[in-house]
């Protein structure tokens, strides 16, 4: 069949985390014992308030408001902005292509650190834009001088992830300010999918300082609604208006809207999730530290995942990934999931204690050459 976009040829699609069902079926491990640590999902499940509303929702025979107005109003009220400053999509990943199309032209450059969330460069490439990759330091720390120097006139969009994926490192707001100032009339996209786990307010208040910033968030992580597919962005009305013209007319269904509105009021679920993930993050980091010489954790993660460095010279990420699967542990192989990361890293979710113990036991058991 004819298609005129060479960037779509022979390209590997996004690689999601494996399912528990696949690992259970393939390796004969009871389903409830499989540790799914490769998708950054909420191990405590969905917001109970959201689940109750979704299960009892009516009017699914009617078209929803095409702008998701009730949800936009709720988000605006929660964060102190106006509904016309909010856009909603089926996850952040639906909104990213609209941003690329609205604020850059074919051949324009899009800036990002590497490694980074692969959707940034995949969307840019599929839309005929040119990703500009800024590598990170030896300890996968941010090279801010290089990043700021790369914000040139032919770069139209600048991506930041906070906390960063896959390292989990938190970017201070002063650094984000530097990027917004350097960008001037270029759009800065601040992806805060994991910000709740940092126990900070994130960069939402920076919208009052910078008119070239859009802050992105999701309901897939701390709210536990990954299956509903809900994300949103907040910016100036001038930045949001073109995105409203690009989005599909009825992209948000009644259940998505109702569930997200309820989740925003479920402070108890959010606080419980944040506190218990923080406790388990400290727990598993301590356990991994005891395996010194074989593995280590990169930096001080502020997210619901960590980046494991493989120090054992005989092991690589793909070997370790497969050995962990045999033991009922699903993680992300850094060499497959993130460009520029290489064969020495695994991104691993922080989850329930039984899953953290299963992970540590497996890491202890696996030896190079096996």
Which band of pLDDT confidence, cut at 50, 70 and 90, is reported for residue 130?
very high
- Is 74 a residue whose pLDDT tops 50? yes
Using the predicted structure, report yes or no on whether residue 302 has a pLDDT greater than 90.
yes
Query: Measured between alpha carbons, how far is 93 from 96 in angstroms, rounded to an integer?
Result: 5
> What per-residue confidence (pLDDT) applies to 8?
60
88-92, 188-192, 213-217, 290-294: which range is least confident on average?
290-294
CA-CA distance, 146 to 262, in Å (whole number)?
Answer: 42
Residue 61's pLDDT is 78
The answer to pTM > 0.85 is: yes
Percentage of the chain modeled with pLDDT above 70: 95
Q: What pLDDT, in 10s, does the model give residues 1-46?
A: 445 666 666 556 666 778 899 999 999 999 999 999 999 999 999 9
Grouping H, G, I as helix, E, B as strand and the rest as coil, residue 288 is helix
Residue 220 pLDDT grade (very low, low, confident, very high; cuts 50, 70, 90): very high
For the sheet containing 305-310, what is the strand order? 295-297, 305-310, 345-349, 332-333
* pLDDT (0 to 100) of residue 12: 60
Domains of the chain, each with CATH number or no CATH: 6-33+268-365 (3.90.1150.10), 58-266 (3.40.640.10)
Mean pLDDT, range 314-337, rounded to an integer: 95
User: What pLDDT digit, counting tens, does each position of 195-218 carry?
Assistant: 999 999 999 999 999 999 999 999
DSSP assignments along 304-365, one per residue = SEEEEEE--TT--HHHHHHHHHHTTEE-EEHHHHSTT--SSEEEEE---HHHHHHHHHHHHH
Q: What is the pLDDT of residues 267-279, one digit of tens each?
A: 999 999 999 999 9
Residues constituting the chain:
370
Contact 256, 90 (CB under 8 A): yes
48-64 pLDDT, tens digit per residue, is 999 998 888 767 778 88
Average pLDDT, the chain: 93
pLDDT of residue 1: 47
Question: Measured in whole angstroms, how far is the alpha carbon of residue 8 from the centre of its chain?
Answer: 23
pLDDT band at 369 (very low <50, low <70, confident <90, very high): very low
How far apart are the C-alpha atoms of 54 and 76, rounded to whole Å? 21
CA pseudo-torsion sign 295, 299, 304, 307: negative
The encoded tokens of residue 311 equal: 């120090």
Task: Give the model's confidence band at 367: pLDDT under 50 very low, under 70 low, under 90 confident, else very high.
Answer: confident
CA dist 232 and 236 (Å) reads 13
- The pLDDT tens digits of the residues spanning 75-121 come to 999 999 999 999 999 999 999 999 999 999 999 999 999 999 999 99
């Amino acid at each position: 069949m004819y298609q005129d976009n060479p960037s779509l040829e022979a390209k590997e699609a996004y690689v999601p985390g494996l399912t528990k069902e696949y690992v259970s079926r393939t390796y004969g491990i009871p389903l409830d014992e499989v540790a799914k640590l490769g998708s950054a999902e909420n191990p405590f499940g969905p917001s109970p308030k959201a689940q109750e509303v979704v299960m009892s929702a009516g009017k699914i025979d009617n078209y929803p408001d095409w702008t998701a107005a009730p949800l936009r109003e709720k988000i605006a009220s929660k964060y102190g902005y106006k509904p016309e400053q909010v856009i909603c999509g089926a996850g952040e990943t639906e909104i990213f292509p609209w941003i690329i199309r609205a604020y850059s032209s074919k051949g324009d450059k899009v800036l990002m650190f590497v490694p980074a969330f692969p959707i940034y460069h995949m969307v840019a490439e599929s839309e005929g834009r040119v990703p500009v990759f800024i590598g990170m330091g030896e300890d996968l720390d941010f090279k801010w001088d290089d990043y700021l120097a790369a914000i040139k006139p032919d770069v139209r969009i600048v991506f930041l992830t906070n906390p960063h994926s896959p390292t989990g490192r938190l970017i201070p707001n002063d650094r984000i300010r530097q990027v917004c100032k350097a960008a001037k009339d270029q759009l800065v996209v601040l992806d805060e999918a994991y910000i709740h786990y940092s126990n900070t307010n994130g960069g939402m208040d920076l919208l009052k300082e910078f008119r070239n910033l859009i802050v992105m968030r999701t309901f897939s992580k701390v709210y536990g609604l990954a299956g509903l597919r809900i994300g949103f962005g907040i910016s100036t009305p001038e930045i949001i208006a073109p995105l409203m013209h690009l989005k599909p007319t009825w992209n948000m269904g009644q259940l998505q809207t109702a569930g997200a509105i309820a989740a925003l009021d479920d402070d108890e679920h959010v606080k419980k999730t944040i506190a218990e993930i923080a406790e388990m993050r400290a727990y598993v980091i301590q356990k991994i530290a005891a395996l010194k010489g074989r593995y280590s954790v990169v930096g001080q993660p502020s997210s619901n995942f960590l980046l494991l460095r493989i120090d054992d010279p005989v092991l690589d990420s793909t070997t370790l990934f497969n050995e962990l699967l045999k033991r009922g542990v699903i993680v992300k192989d850094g060499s497959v999931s993130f460009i520029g990361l290489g064969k020495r890293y695994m991104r691993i979710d922080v989850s329930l204690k039984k899953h953290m113990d299963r992970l540590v036991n497996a890491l202890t058991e696996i030896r190079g050459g096996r």
